Amino acid sequence: MSAPTPEQIEKWKAGRAILKVNPTILDASIGKLSAAAQVPAKKFRDLMLSDEQDPAKMQALGATIKEGISEDIKKELEAHKAEVHKVLGIPA
């Protein structure tokens, strides 16, 4: 995975700001997931809502959320991630 460009970082920050203003914006999308995928999806949403600013720490916390998740759930979360990016205007 290549490092994000400054433009991608700014779009991610803007998407994060949208989520912080409207934290329920992803609820419908999360609700479509299987029960097993909803738990980590909510943790990822909560991570985006957190005040953490260090990209390395956020990446490490994201990796921790993924630990022990089955491949099927990982695939489901990847599809959900694309939907999240679309809703928040974040480049894929």
53 in Cβ contact with 41 (< 8 Å): no
Distance (Å, whole) CA 70 – CA 88 = 26
User: What is the reported pLDDT for 77?
Assistant: 96
CA-angle at 54, arms to 69 and 71, nearest 5°: 15
Domain span including residue 18: 6-88
Residue 63 within any structural domain of the chain: yes
Q: How confident is the model at residue 65 (pLDDT cuts 50, 70, 90)?
A: very high
Residue 11 lies in a domain: yes
Q: How far apart are CA 62 and CA 47, in angstroms?
A: 8
pLDDT for the residue numbered 90 = 87
Residue 24 inside a domain? The answer is yes
pLDDT tens digits, residue range 10-51? 888 899 999 999 999 999 999 999 999 999 999 999 999 999
The number of folded domains in the chain is 1
In this predicted structure, the answer to whether residue 2 has a pLDDT above a threshold of 70 is no
Q: Give domain status of residue 81, yes or no.
A: yes
Is 1 a member of any domain? no
Could you give the CA distance from residue 61 to residue 59 in angstroms, rounded to a whole number?
5
State the Cα–Cα distance between residues 51 and 53, nearest whole angstrom: 6
